[in-house]
Structures are given as C-alpha cells and as structure tokens.
C-alpha cells in the first residue's frame, strides 16, 4: 500500500470534514456541536466508522445509514463520502471523471484520479427515505380502482337512482305510523287501514326489488374491479426489475395480498352503508318537517357521532400500520422456517425461531387488543348516543304534544325516522374503522406498484437483429439498491459467435451477477449491455428471451408434474422433450415412479434431489434452443458420470454460431468444450485467454495455496439480493 493510503483506524475524523459531509446531507448540524461531540474521551479511541456512528448517536441524528468499504468496490453514485487519503480524511465528490477532495477550511482542494484512490477506505452516509416519492405518473391502487370503477359510468346513475328511491321509500314507514295513530286508531277506520296496508305492501316489494338490483349491480362491478386490479398487479409483479424486489418475501406477499381486503370491502355491505350515510341528513329534515324542534335533537347529535368516528379512525391509523408491519414480519419468518426446516432441525435452532415467533405474536396480540379496545369503545359510545337521541326525542316530543305542535302519531313517526338517522351513523363509525385496514392495504399495494419495471410502459421497444453475432458489456457498473459496493465493474467485454467461455473465480467475485446482467435480469446502474448492435434494455423482452437462456445456480421447480416442469414454456413438443430427457438421464426419474412423467412435483421441487432438479432445468434450457447460453454452475449438484454426460449433451446441442458462457468451480471437466477462460475477482475480469494458457496456472495456485479467498473480508459480497451484507450500519 502506498504511503498515501493510510489505515483509517489510525486517523481521527476532522470536525471540519464531517461538517462538510453533514452539510451535503442537509442535516443542519453546526460545526461547534460536532467539535464538542468529537472531543468526548470515549470517541477518541474508536475506529473511524465506530466514531462516526457514535457521533450520530450523540447528536441524536435519525434516518441515516452508512458503512465502510474499499474505494475500488465503491459505487461513485453514492458520493459525497469521506475518504482516508494522504494521512487524513477528505470529503470526496465527483468532478467529472476525476474526484474532488476537500478537507479543513483554509486548505486547498485537490483533484485526483480514481486510480490514485485505489485501496483507500471510504466512509459513506445516506439519508433513509421517509417515504416514496409521489410521482403523478406513478400508478397507485386508488387510481387503478377509480379507473376500473368509472370505465363504464352507466352503473353510477342506476345505483344513485335506486339509492335515492330506497331512502325515500323508507320515509313511508313513518308516514304509515303517523296515519294509523292519528286517523285509523281514533276512528277505527278499517277501510283506511286496508288502503294503507296495501300501499305499504307495494312499497315493500318495490324496496326489495331496488335493493336486490342495486346489490347485483355493485357485486358485478366489484368482481370486475377485482379481476382488473388483480391482473394489473400480478402483471406488474411479473415484470419487476429483479434487482429491486423487496428482500422480504413476507412483505412482497403481503403487498399482493392487500388486494384481498380491498375486494372484501367492495363486495360487503360496507359500500351500501357508506352510500346510505349522507341520507341521514335527509331524514333529519323530514323529522324537522313532522316534529319541528324534535329534529334539532338529531341535528345536534349527528356531528357528535361523526366526530367520534373520525377520532376513532385517527387513533387506529398508526396502530393498524404497525400491526400490518409486524404481520408481514411474521409471514416472512414463516416462509423462512418452512423453507429452512431441515437446517433448523439439523442445527437444533428451533428454540431461536420459536422465540422470535412468540415475540412477534405477542406484539401482534397487544396491537389487536388495543385495536379492539378502541373499536369497542367507539361502538359502545355510539350505541349510547343512539339511546340518548331516542330518549331526548321522546322527551322533547312530549312537550311538543302538550303544546299542541305535535300529535302522538307524529311523535312515533319521528322515533321511526330517528332510527334511520342513528343506525347509519353507528354503522358508519364502524365502516370508518374498517376503512383504515383497507387504506393500509392499498398503501401496501402502492408500494408494490412503485417498484420499477424492467421496461417502462411508454418505452418504444425495438426488435433485435435476426442473427445475433455478439453480446457485450461496455463500462458496466452494477450495485444493489442502497448499496455503495460495486458488484460488477467491467470496462469492456465482448462475447462473439462461437465463443465457449468459462467464468472462474472465488466465491462472491461477481460471476453470477455478470450472467444475470447479460441475461437482462439485472439492470446495470452504469454502462450498456449490447445484444448485437442494440442496447439490451431497448429491445422487446420477448425477443431477448427467444435468443437468451439463463440457467440459475439455485434451480426452482414449480408445483405440478415432472412433465409440466420440463415443458415450462408450453412450446416444446413431446418428441423433442423426450429426446433430451433420455440424453440427460431424466427419464430415470420417471421410470422410478408408477406415475411416470405425471410424477407430482411440490413447490420448489421438494421430493427431487438437487441433482435431479438441475437435470430438469438443463432439459428446459436445451429444449429452448437459444442463441446465447448463460449457465450458472450447471453441474454443481451432479456426480462425476452425470457431469461428463451433461457436457457431452451440451456439446451436441450448442450450434457452432451459438455463444456459451458458463460459471463453474470445476473448469477442468469443461475445458474440452471451451475456447476461452475469464478469471474474475471482486467484480472485475482480471484474466482473459485460452484455457491452455490460464487453467494450468489456476490449478497450480489451488495446489500451493490454502483454499481461502484473496478478497478482503469487507468486500466478500454474494451476488443475490438476499445476501447484500456489507460492513456498515443501518438507519439510526
């Protein structure tokens, strides 16, 4: 290491440099406060990263995450950051292709090339976003629902007309009571009673028909909205950028399942209750017409009930949000336990997961108790308001009867209409409570819809060339979201027609990531991937998948049969499938079971060995007949004889003009089909040449050196999103 590249643990942070970094992050911390914090004795002896973490804690700065990484693995898009260079800390920022270094006030700035910083340490900080950006163009669940609801507006007029008539007919019951008590009872006019009863029978029948029609219209509408929304969300899920997917399957599952509560909301009586709620004002007006001041009783209690519902909703908002988050954690834990049950039992780790499950369940139970307490309090209070309204209306009615302003039939009619005011309000409060759960579910769906797609909906996609002569990467840099570490850093690399390439290198060197970038599964943050002469990300995905086949390192089979997994795309003939199956020896799996090719396969391929799953996936790849073969450890789970057979079968099926790129830790067995070997380390291609020139050196190195990676511990990143660990700290 150069004298300029000093161990950061030996050099204290400068308050001026830290102040500059905080200013770049708009934290609003004064230099005096930073000076006072850094002068504390307990901070003086800490390494730089721990010192920075302690400084953030001491200054009570929240919502910041950061870490330490070597410069050659650092993603420059995360600048500004602190670098330890020439025996002091500097604030580094981009200055074109070079890097601008700033230190203490009064000291001149420096501009250095990126190569001069090779090997130095970087301390980076980044604000944690408090929420997603609300882009007007970003689709949301609410927008999708409204679009589906009002695509055909005819239903709205029908439902509104039916609702108005149904609520007007409700007044007939009170008018019936008014006439009976004021005219029929005093004179025993049975003919009038008969006429009133016949009229009420017609009103009841019409009311039933209107409610039935309204329910049928809304049920059909809800089913249509649910189908359209579910289809759009699922299509969005299928076309997400794989490198931007949430790390937690529980969270992703909850975001998709959020549609269920939305569907229940539209298919339940809640919608009818919310539609009928505004008509409570109309009933108050009718009470005022019939009973005079009696209407003021309900007019005064109506806003009280509404305010009670709004307060309840406000109190439940954060509580339900926390409950959903913990429920997602439990769902993720459940998925982890189911998938890793063998490892849990083999390592006697059941107690650990049981404890975590109990802790989450306990917190969920406490949230549910608090939620029910608030809901029951609201329900009881609203019920009491209903009773108070009835009693108050009767008392006021008595005085009105005494004054001659109201008849006995009028007071009874007001009581009946009063029930039409209070009951919708009582139900409305409960609907507002339920809406909180629906609202949080919609927010979960919105988070899914906000994730970036592999292609933009309005993007004009190109159709590639008929003959693919090459696939190349140019100045490609790839880092996972919110990670400062570059998992790929390749200036230029081209694979030509006829190339048979072996990718070799230590674990975590970027082989799998490179294959995923070439396959168009991961999108690089910088640079281009060119399929022929066109940018891969400007080509229609259908064309890309017709020429490129990618075999992942971790093979996944789907629930179904052995045959359905072998013909996953549905475009392979039985003859072609059986020919490849026999060549690879997959037919032995079917022969060992009475069901043959209809052998049932569980989720993930449970019931088949790792080698059998790998052979099934290889069969799918071969029958796809791609132009570009990208294979990630295709024989890792196979025995020696099976591995030799696989290489021979691949050699037969790969056309002379095809491109083969294989990641392997056993290159000698595949050397006979290769004409090129790439050696990767820390995301870079360090050697590129013929097998005869490279493989003997690799084998001699393995024979003379211990089997450990030469990469620094801080840069051993795995190439999958689930293992994006790095040296650093999360949001404080």
What stretches of 357-499 adopt beta strand conformation (E)?
470-478, 488-496
Mapping DSSP onto H, E and C, the string for 600-623 reads EECHHHCCCCHHHHHHHHHHHHHH
Structure token pair of residue 594: 């009475």
Kind plus residue range of the DSSP H or E element containing 164: helix 154-179
Among candidate residues 544, 388, 348, the one with its CA nearest the CA of residue 465: 544
Alpha-helix residue ranges (DSSP H) falling in 403-510 = 408-449
79 conformational bin, left if phi > 0, alpha if psi -120 to 50, beta if neither? beta
What does the pLDDT read at residue 319? 82
Asked whether the beta carbons of 541 and 463 are under 8 A apart, the reply is: no
Strand partners, 684: 681
Which residues fall within 8 angstroms of residue 565, CB to CB, at 6 or more apart?
557, 558, 601, 605, 616, 620
What does the pLDDT read at residue 257? 65
What does the pLDDT read at residue 252? 66
Asked whether the beta carbons of 543 and 580 are under 8 A apart, the reply is: no
pLDDT in tens, 204-237: 999 899 888 887 887 777 777 777 777 777 777 7
What does the pLDDT read at residue 135? 43
Largest CA distance in the chain: 118
Number of separate helices (H) and strands (E) present in the chain = 24, 19
Asked whether the beta carbons of 226 and 146 are under 8 A apart, the reply is: no
Asked whether the beta carbons of 132 and 46 are under 8 A apart, the reply is: no
Among candidate residues 129, 111, 125, the one with its CA nearest the CA of residue 48: 125
Alpha-helix residue ranges (DSSP H) falling in 239-293 = 249-267, 270-276, 279-291
Secondary structure of residue 247 in the 3-state scheme: coil
Residues of the chain with CATH 3.90.70: 8-127
Give me the residues of the chain with pLDDT under 70, please: 1-10, 41, 72-73, 105-106, 128-139, 244-276, 422-434, 436, 457-466, 482, 569-571, 699-732
pTM above 0.75, yes or no: no
CATH architecture for the domain at 8-127 = Alpha-Beta Complex (3.90)
Which is the CATH superfamily of the domain at 141-449?
A: ABC transporter type 1, transmembrane domain (1.20.1560.10)
Residue showing tokens 């050099």: 11
Residue showing tokens 């309005």: 458
Residues of the chain with CATH 3.40.50.300: 470-717
CATH of 470-717, one of 2.60.120.10, 3.40.50.300, 3.40.50.920, 3.30.1540.10: 3.40.50.300
Among candidate residues 52, 57, 54, 34, the one with its CA nearest the CA of residue 42: 54
Which residues fall within 8 angstroms of residue 48, CB to CB, at 6 or more apart?
8, 9, 11, 12, 13, 68, 82, 84, 89, 121, 123
Residues of the chain with CATH 1.20.1560.10: 141-449
How far apart CA 251 and CA 574 sit, in angstroms, is 39
What does the pLDDT read at residue 262? 66
What does the pLDDT read at residue 493? 92
How far apart CA 116 and CA 707 sit, in angstroms, is 31
Asked whether the beta carbons of 313 and 387 are under 8 A apart, the reply is: no
Structure token pair of residue 717: 């990143």
């Amino acid at each position: 290491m150069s004298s300029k590249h000093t161990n950061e643990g030996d050099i204290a942070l400068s308050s001026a440099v830290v102040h500059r970094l905080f200013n770049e992050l708009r934290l609003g911390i004064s230099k005096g406060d930073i000076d006072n914090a850094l002068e504390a004795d307990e901070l003086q002896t800490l390494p730089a990263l721990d010192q920075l973490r302690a400084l953030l804690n001491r200054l009570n700065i929240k919502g910041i995450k950061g870490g330490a990484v070597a410069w050659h693995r650092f993603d420059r898009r995360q600048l500004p950051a602190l670098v330890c260079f020439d025996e002091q800390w500097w604030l580094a920022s981009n200055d074109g292709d070079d890097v601008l270094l700033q230190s203490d006030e009064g000291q001149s700035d420096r501009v250095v090339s990126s190569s001069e910083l090779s090997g130095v340490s970087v301390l980076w900080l980044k604000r944690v976003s408090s929420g997603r950006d609300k882009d007007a163009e970003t689709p949301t669940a609410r927008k999708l629902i409204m679009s589906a609801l009002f695509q055909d507006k005819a239903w709205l007029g029908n439902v509104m007309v039916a609702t108005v008539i149904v609520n007007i007919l409700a007044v007939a019951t009170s008018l019936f009571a008014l006439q009976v008590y004021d005219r029929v009872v005093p004179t025993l006019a049975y003919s009038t009673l008969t006429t009133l009863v016949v009229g009420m029978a017609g009103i009841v029948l019409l009311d039933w028909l209107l409610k039935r029609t309204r329910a049928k219209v809304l049920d059909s509408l809800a089913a249509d909205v649910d189908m359209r929304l579910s289809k759009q969300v699922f299509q969005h899920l299928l076309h997400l950028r794989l490198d931007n997917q949430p790390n937690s399957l529980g969270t992703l599952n909850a975001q998709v399942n959020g549609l269920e509560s939305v569907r229940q909301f539209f298919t339940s009586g809640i919608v009818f209750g919310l539609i009928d709620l505004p008509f409570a004002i109309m009933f108050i007006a009718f009470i005022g017409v019939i009973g005079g001041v009696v209407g003021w009783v309900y007019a005064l209690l109506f806003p009280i009930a509404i305010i009670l519902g709004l307060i309840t909703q406000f109190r439940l908002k954060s509580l339900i949000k926390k409950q959903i988050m913990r429920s997602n954690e439990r769902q993720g834990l459940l998925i982890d336990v189911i998938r890793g049950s063998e490892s849990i039992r083999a390592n006697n780790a059941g107690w650990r997961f049981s404890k975590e499950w109990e802790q989450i369940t306990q917190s969920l139970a406490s949230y549910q108790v608090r939620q029910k307490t608030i809901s029951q309090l609201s329900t009881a209070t609203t019920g009491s308001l209903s009773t108070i309204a009835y009693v108050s209306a009767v008392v006021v009615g008595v005085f009105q009867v005494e004054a001659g302003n109201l008849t006995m039939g009028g007071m009874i009619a007001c009581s009946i209409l009063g029930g039409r005011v209070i009951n919708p309000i009582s139900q409305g409060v409960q609907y507002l409570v339920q809406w909180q759960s629906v609202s949080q579910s919609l927010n979960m769906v919105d988070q899914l819809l906000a994730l970036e797609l592999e292609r933009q909906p309005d993007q004009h996609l190109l159709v590639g060339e008929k003959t693919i002569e090459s696939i190349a990467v140019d100045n490609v840099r790839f880092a996972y979201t919110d990670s400062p570490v570059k998992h790929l850093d390749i200036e230029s690399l081209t694979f030509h027609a006829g190339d048979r390439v072996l990718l070799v290198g230590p674990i975590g060197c970027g082989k799998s990531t490179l294959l995923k970038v070439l396959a168009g599964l991961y999108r690089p943050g910088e640079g281009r991937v060119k399929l022929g002469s066109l940018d891969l990300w400007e080509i229609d995905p259908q064309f890309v998948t017709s020429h490129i086949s990618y075999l992942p390192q971790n093979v996944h089979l789907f629930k179904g049969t052995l045959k359905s997994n072998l013909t996953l795309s549905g475009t392979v003939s039985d003859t072609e499938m059986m020919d490849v199956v026999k060549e690879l020896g997959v037919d032995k799996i079917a022969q060992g079971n009475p069901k043959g090719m209809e052998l049932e396969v569980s989720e993930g391929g449970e019931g088949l060995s790792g080698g059998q799953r790998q052979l099934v996936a290889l069969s799918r790849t071969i029958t796809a007949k791609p132009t570009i073969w990208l294979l990630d450890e295709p024989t890792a789970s196979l025995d020696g004889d099976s591995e030799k057979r696989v290489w021979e079968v691949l050699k037969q099926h790969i056309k002379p003009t095809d491109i083969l790129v294989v990641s392997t830790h056993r290159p000698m067995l595949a050397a006979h089909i290769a004409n090129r070997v790439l050696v990767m380390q820390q995301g870079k291609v360090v050697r590129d040449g013929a097998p005869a020139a490279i493989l003997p050196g690799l084998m001699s190195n393995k024979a003379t050196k211990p089997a450990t990676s030469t990469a620094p511990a801080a840069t051993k990143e795995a190439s999958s999103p689930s293992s994006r660990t790095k040296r650093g700290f999360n949001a404080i």
